[in-house]
Each structure stands twice: as structure tokens, then as C-alpha cells.
């Protein structure tokens, strides 16, 4: 399949490389040259503008940082105008519900299918082609891109025909991850306040009642205070919590826990921790208790 790819960051580069390895043609654009060069060395085509990446392709995949980067690249830099009618744009980034609704309408007006397909998994999971893909869009478009999803992920979770449904689900998941990190940070601080070693407590809970990947992965990082290099930056966690709150407001859903988590993230940024791994959110509780 002839694929355009926008965004060769931490997640985008291994995803594009896997598509190349599966025999697809990949024409890619990235803001910074080093990742583009890395893909070129694997056999990918590199272009100098986003519009070139979208021109004439069957499927365009975008994996950009946030709403601002997506809007700037897809709309302001001419990508949507370059896509041919009948093409499919698969946006695999975590963006707002509001932007997903807007993009779906703009694509439909030009006869282009728009699919939202944000993913669950860090870079090692992307490299292994084992992502979980949360997808929403027309049945026909989803069927057409499923062979690509089978290269990139272990399972595709179809969540509806409206693209924003996939984004709402991804934001809900990320809200739950933030909640897990926040609760582990506070619980470990409580235990440590009574003389129980933080590492011992977290090993206990992540081996028993919370023996799940999110708790185990972030729990280990919290116990070891291992926050660099960042697998997912704390500042991006704040972005997703804010997007979850905005999506909740649109649906008249109250998320009081998300409000508290937003404030904790802002406190972390005020202490210069935005570049650290999301697990560093646990420092907030320890700092408030005078333990750091």
C-alpha cells in the first residue's frame, strides 16, 4: 500500500519502520531531520513538506504531538488539500474530541475518509508491533486500513463510527493512568510516613491487588525514582488530563478526580518536572508531606 506518514517521533518512527518492513511504501515527513534520516536508511522516502507526504497516497497516517501540531500540519501546511478524494487519513495521535469532530467534517467535505486510531503502548511496544489500537470511523474505511493495523498492533478495538469516539476512549484511558500514578504516589507516601519503605510497599501492591501493567511499570519507576529518560513526559500527561476534562464538559460529565490531578500536574511543572517521565507525578505527594 502507498502510505504517507506525518510525524516520526518516539512512537511514529518505529511505526513507520514496521510498515516498511511489512512491504509497504512509506513517504514520510518530520519537522526535525534526524528521525527522517533514520527512516530513509531503512528504505523510506523522505519529503520536505507535509503536503508532499499526502499527495497521491492511498492512506495518510499522522502521529503528531498534540492538537496544535496536528492542526498546523494537516490544515495550515496543505495536507488536507493535497489528499486525493477517496484517500483515507488515519490520525493515530492523542488529540481532543473537539478537533476530531472538526477534522472529520473537513475531510468529509472533500470526499476523504477520516479515521481516529490512537494507540495504547510505549515505544518498546510500538517497536514490537504490539500496540492496542483504539479505532473509530466508517466501516468501509476501517476495513481498508485493518491490514496496516495488523502490522502496527496486536488488537484493534473498534469503538464506533464517529472518529471522536476513539479519542474520547483514549483520553479516558489516559485519565485512568494519571489516576493510577497519583494514587500510587499518595499511597506510597502514606506508607513511608509510617516507616514502611516506599519500594517495599509498591512491590507488595503491584504483585497482589494491583498486578497490572500500568501499576507495575509506573510503580517500579516510582519505587526506584527513575524518571529519566522519559517514556512519556509529565507535560504530555497534563495535556491529556486537560483534554479529558474538556471532553467531559462537552458531555456534562463531572470528573472531580481529574481536576485534582490537573492541579498536581501543574504543581509538578512549577517545580521544573515537565520533562520527566509521567511517574514523576508521584513526587507531588512526597513533596507535600515533606519527604523530599
Are 292 and 286 contacting, i.e. CB atoms less than 8 angstroms apart? yes
Return all residues near 14 (Cβ < 8 A) that are at least 6 apart.
Answer: 123, 126, 127
The helix/strand/coil state of 271 is coil
The angle at the Cα of 16, spanning 142 to 237, to the nearest 5 degrees, equals 80
Return all residues near 23 (Cβ < 8 A) that are at least 6 apart.
Answer: none
- Is residue 135 classed exposed, middle or buried when 0-12, 13-18 and 19+ CB atoms within 10 A define those classes? buried
Partnered with residue 90 across adjacent β-strands are 61, 115
The angle at the Cα of 45, spanning 44 to 48, to the nearest 5 degrees, equals 135
C-alpha cell at 260: 485534582
Residue 233 is given by DSSP the state: B
Task: Select which of 155, 170, 198, 233 is catalytic.
Answer: 170
Residue 93 is given by DSSP the state: S
DSSP assignment string, 20-85: HHTT-EEEEE-SSHHHHHHHHHTT-EE-SSHHHHHTT-SEEEE--SSHHHHHIIIIITSHHHHSPT
Catalytic residue check, 170: yes
* Active site (catalytic) residues: 170
Amino acid at each position: 500500500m502507498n502510505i504517507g506518514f506525518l510525524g516520526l517521533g518516539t512512537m511514529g518512527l518505529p511505526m513507520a519502520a514496521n510498515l516498511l518492513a511489512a512491504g509497504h511504501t512509506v513517504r514520510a515527513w518530520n519537522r526535525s531531520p534526524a528521525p527522517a534520516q533514520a527512516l530513509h536508511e531503512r528504505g523510506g522516502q523522505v519529503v520536505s513538506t507535509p503536503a508532499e507526504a499526502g499527495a497521491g497516497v492511498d492512506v495518510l497516517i499522522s502521529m503528531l504531538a498534540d492538537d496544535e501540531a496536528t492542526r498546523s500540519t494537516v490544515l495550515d501546511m496543505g495536507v488536507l488539500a493535497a489528499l486525493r478524494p477517496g484517500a483515507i487519513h488515519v490520525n493515530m495521535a492523542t488529540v481532543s474530541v473537539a478537533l476530531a469532530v472538526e477534522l472529520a467534517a473537513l475531510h468529509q467535505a472533500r470526499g476523504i475518509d477520516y479515521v481516529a486510531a490512537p494507540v495504547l503502548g510505549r515505544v518498546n511496544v510500538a517497536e514490537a508491533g504490539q500496540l492496542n489500537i483504539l479505532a473509530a470511523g466508517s466501516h468501509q474505511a476501517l476495513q481498508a486500513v485493518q491490514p496496516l493495523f495488523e502490522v502496527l498492533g496486536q488488537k484493534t478495538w473498534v469503538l464506533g463510527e464517529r472518529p471522536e469516539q476513539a479519542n474520547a476512549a483514549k483520553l479516558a484511558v489516559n485519565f485512568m493512568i494519571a489516576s493510577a500514578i497519583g494514587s500510587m504516589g499518595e499511597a506510597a507516601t502514606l506508607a513511608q510516613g509510617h516507616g514502611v519503605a516506599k519500594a517495599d510497599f509498591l512491590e507488595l501492591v503491584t504483585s497482589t491487588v494491583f498486578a497490572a501493567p500500568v501499576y507495575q511499570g509506573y510503580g517500579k519507576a516510582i519505587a526506584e525514582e527513575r524518571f529519566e529518560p522519559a517514556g512519556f513526559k509529565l507535560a504530555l500527561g497534563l495535556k491529556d488530563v486537560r483534554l479529558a476534562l474538556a471532553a467531559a464538559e462537552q458531555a456534562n460529565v463531572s470528573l472531580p478526580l481529574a481536576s485534582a490531578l490537573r492541579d498536581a500536574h501543574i504543581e509538578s511543572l512549577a517545580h521544573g518536572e515537565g520533562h520527566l517521565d509521567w511517574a514523576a507525578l508521584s513526587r507531588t505527594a512526597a513533596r507535600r508531606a515533606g519527604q523530599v
